[in-house]
Amino acid sequence: MGADAFARGVETLLASYRAIPDHATVRLAKKTSNLFRRRAKNPYPGLDVSGLDRVISVDPDAMTADVAGMCTYENLVDATLPYGLAPLVVPQLKTITLGGAVTGLGIESTSFRNGLPHESVLEMDILTGSGDIVTASPTNENADLFHGFPNSYGTLGYSTRLRIELERVDPFVKLRHLRFTDIATLQDTMDRIITDGSHDGETVDYLDGVVFTATEAYLTLGRRSAVEGPVSDYTGSDIYYRSIQHATTSTPIRDRLTIHDYLWRWDTDWFWCSRAFGAQNPKIRRFWPKKLLRSSFYWKLIALDHRYDIADRLNARKGEPPNERVVQDIEVPIERTTEFIEWFLETIPIEPIWLCPLRLRAGCEASGADDASGSSGDRPWPLYPLEPNRTYVNVGFWSAVPIQEGAVEGRANRLIEAKVSELDGHKSLYSDAFYDEDQFDELYGGDAMRRLKKQFDPGARFLDLYAKAVKRQ
């Protein structure tokens, strides 16, 4: 991108901020989003971030990159892979932005060893509610903002530049798909892999899983490889998640992908959600343009459905009830994974579901900001307070269930929220949430948020987190 182009992008952003009336809520002017919660329409112009969508520079020796806040991971990976480098965590969908993953969280199969995207940020420039751009790092005068920014979803400001760590990657990834006939054994195996960093004598660099039913579930173990050889291609007629399935529990199925295709293995079919649009039907897929086999295009179809209620209208014609959208990622401690999954499969009729283990990075507890978290620093990210030295499992499920006649709004989502809280877990806030204000305050760092809002958004130019995530204002 270059420093001059980045500077022009920042000036455009600041000019758009100054054009928003003082009494108006400040929002982004983005036309696309990876959020699933509906938002009230903004009658005022938004922040123009169009000039902040690229990598600024890559330092291959220091293994760092300076990245504009609205740069997508697709652009970020394209800039780093030629150096044999990649971000420490690359979320599954190409159009997720680095700034979005930091302020709204992200996860992937390196998270069991690299944590979450915000943990590899070294410093960032943030446009605050006062209209100033400040630099925040773990140790400078804005350390409170640095630690409070993750999971703030734009309620504390928007990142314009982020300096991130990178890690070395090999050109290929060797995969092993292990089948399990019960979730408890899968949980125990996952726990051992995370502890040992290996399985059956082979290093594990990437780890995630898929549950198809209570008796058919898989862990996928990835290992870096520099060895040339044949690779699979799941960007056309073949479908990645179907390649995981096999009949034997005694011998894993092996596969190989390029590192590029591995990082984007889930994007082609949006995990398995492309089936809702017919894209997995062989007769339709044959004619489906390959460039439209990607999550960003499915998002456009989802937007049309939201705008015109297409699915509910079709259900009504068939005499079926409308659907409740159940699109969530939650985290529970690894020892509660079996309990949650078995409850979920019995209660919420959605399959498959995705599993992704995570741990906060080693040593993160030493970097906490005492006065932001209100603690001794043992929970360094106060708005999403996962415990250091504890393994969690992200469970992702993205579909809909029939609305029961007379049921409270969001019945299925409310059940999930209650179960996750019972199991000492959390859920991400990119989709619908139904917590009351006291629950939300306790789960998502209410005291820390109020202190940060007072300091960095004294004029309340941005919405508060409850209004944005639950009230969907």
Q: pTM score, two decimals?
A: 0.93
**For 179-217, how does the pLDDT look when each residue is reduced to its tens digit (9 = 90+)?**
999 999 999 999 999 999 999 999 999 999 999 999 999
User: Per-residue pLDDT for 451 more than 70?
Assistant: yes
**For 324-374, how does the pLDDT look when each residue is reduced to its tens digit (9 = 90+)?**
999 999 999 999 999 999 999 999 999 999 999 999 997 654 333 344 433
**For 239-266, how does the pLDDT look when each residue is reduced to its tens digit (9 = 90+)?**
999 999 998 888 899 999 999 999 999 9
The β-bridge relationship of strands 172-180 and 216-225 is antiparallel
Q: Indicate the length of the chain as a whole number.
A: 473
Q: If we measure between CA atoms, which residue out of 435, 432, 418 comes closest to residue 324? A: 432
DSSP string across 380-397: --TTS-PPTT--EEEEEE
Q: What is the pLDDT of residue 125?
A: 98
What's domain 3-169's architecture?
Answer: 2-Layer Sandwich (3.30)
* Spatial contact of 112 and 133, defined as CB atoms under 8 Å apart: no
Q: What is the pLDDT of residue 374?
A: 37
User: Per-residue pLDDT for 376 more than 80?
Assistant: no
Please, which residues bridge with residue 28 across strands? 47
DSSP string across 366-426: GG--HHHHTSSSSS--TTS-PPTT--EEEEEEEEEEEPPTTPPTTHHHHHHHHHHHHTT-E
Band (pLDDT 50/70/90 cuts) for residue 375 is very low
